[in-house]
Structure 1
């Protein structure tokens, strides 16, 4: 009999919960807005109480504490979502489901893992996943394993070399004009007075966006040396960005290091909006091995 597995993609805007099998196939799912921890967790319990799951993979917005030796392991830490600041998310789940095994990591890490096993990264060992949406986050798979050091990557907050003539102050409450502060969805909206999907594909703004995302690709290439860089998130659904990112990346790198063919190296997510929830089921399966 196939064991049921659970997945939670805990985003800053919405939660997705799913039950599936060891292949990552989704049997049932639900989604709801991220409000307060108390309200949101009641929705999580209402969903999972219907199923006898053996393990749950949790991919959470962050920053989160991933160090099992830390007193605040399992907590969401310094998030701008004040209701969730210093909240013991994993502890609450474990208290409600003491018999369930949990895997605790970031939302971008589970999306990276989904792409590694089922998406654009199939056949690759080292995958850099960048989500560009409400925020910018980076997940990394190193030789098939979720990457983490003392903490997890916070690659959305690297500092940028500004495009000529771009004096936008940035919206990040911590750093102002870091990558997230000048290139994530809220920054795009504040710059243009409208959301990204309302901006024409041939608007000159997209060249500025591509320049910053190409810089990020250069930084991650020189730091991690991945086999592939995969973009997800709402902003990355702008298909016109990809040729511009690749062209800017080639100029910035200036043949300094060898990388694969850029059409293969910098790609859009293959699993679409399902990357995170599929990845969370797959890490739950790993916990059972």
Structure 2
């Protein structure tokens, strides 16, 4: 009997890892959630899970920053992350040493961008900018089916935005203080208000600030990249009232300078929901073998 083709995928987040094995049609046959603690502990569980299967390749979408430059000595590493224990971790190197299979490597948000472009909210568009607002803030960009990489990968969460005139919060980013991530991420909202975002009333002023900053950011990305579709996900966007506020602030920030597609078409929530990341990693695994 001919052995079936299996792909391995890892969505490596700052809070949890999702590991999955899928068949040739990218239908998941097994999946596990692993807490993100320290590399020795988390990756030991990753190794144990995939050791049960003979996969032909891996796709990894990882929290970052990561090194995606094939000419770099640290290609495949997680680099300057504030996540304890993960700075300068050779992620691709360990997978390659353990399993000897090709590894497709990108950021978690790039993977989600590829997934939403392929079969999600941006299906049929020529480009997709995916923005996640959760434990951190990150963005990925897919155009004509290709994930955008250059000397590195986009770091859209660390741009600076104009502070709201009523906002005195100093920011929570350990590198930049009041960059976008430092103002609108889940930990930033919790630090600002003192409770988790899920427990904050929809009429609290913090949501005005969050929408104000995200609107500026998406306006800036729109001016630079002109994506055909913007998909915005992550835990913070589970606040149902927030999406329309963000759309309004994008329009305000652009002030009529460029003509966008209809705003409800242009900016959407992920069609794939919380499955965008692992779907993108599976697509990457398949592309790595077929390239």
Q: TM-score, normalised by structure 2?
A: 0.97
Output aligned runs, 1:218-233, within 5 Å.
Answer: 218-233=219-234
Q: Is the 8 A contact 1:125 1:227 kept in 2?
A: yes
2:74 matched residue in structure 1: 72
Where does residue 280 of structure 2 map in the other structure? Answer: 279
CA offset at residue 82 of structure 1?
Answer: 3.3
Deviations 1:52-79 (A, max 9, x none): 1111100111111101111111111111
What is aligned with 1:179? 180
| Segment of structure 1 superposing worse, 64-73 or 16-25 | 16-25
Question: Take 1:125 and 1:11, find their aligned partners in 2: how far apart are those partners?
Answer: 27
1:153 aligns with 2:151: no
Deviations 1:127-171 (Å, cap 9, x if unpaired)?
100000010000110221010110000110000101111010001
Q: Name 1:111's counterpart in structure 2.
A: 112
Aligned to 1:188: 189
Mapped to 1, the partners of 2:8 and 2:214 lie a distance apart of: 33
Aligned to 2:85, the other structure's residue is in SS state helix
Aligned equivalents of 1:199 and 1:232: distance in 2? 18
How many residues in Structure 1 have an aligned counterpart in Structure 2? 288
State the Cα distance separating 1:242 from its structure 2 match: 1.1
Classify 1:147/1:176 alpha carbon distance in 2 versus 1 (closer, same or farther; 3 Å): same
C-alpha RMSD over aligned residues:
1.0
Q: Displacement of 1:22 after TM fit?
A: 3.7
Tell me the distance in 2 between the aligned counterparts of 1:251 and 1:160.
Answer: 14
The residue that corresponds to 2:95 in the other structure is: 93
Matched, 1:13 2:5: no
Deviations 1:34-67, CA, capped at 9 Å, x for gaps: 1111111110111101111111100111111101
Give the aligned partner of residue 212 of structure 2.
211
CA contact under 8 A between 1:23 and 1:282: conserved in structure 2? no
Gaps of 5+ in 2: none
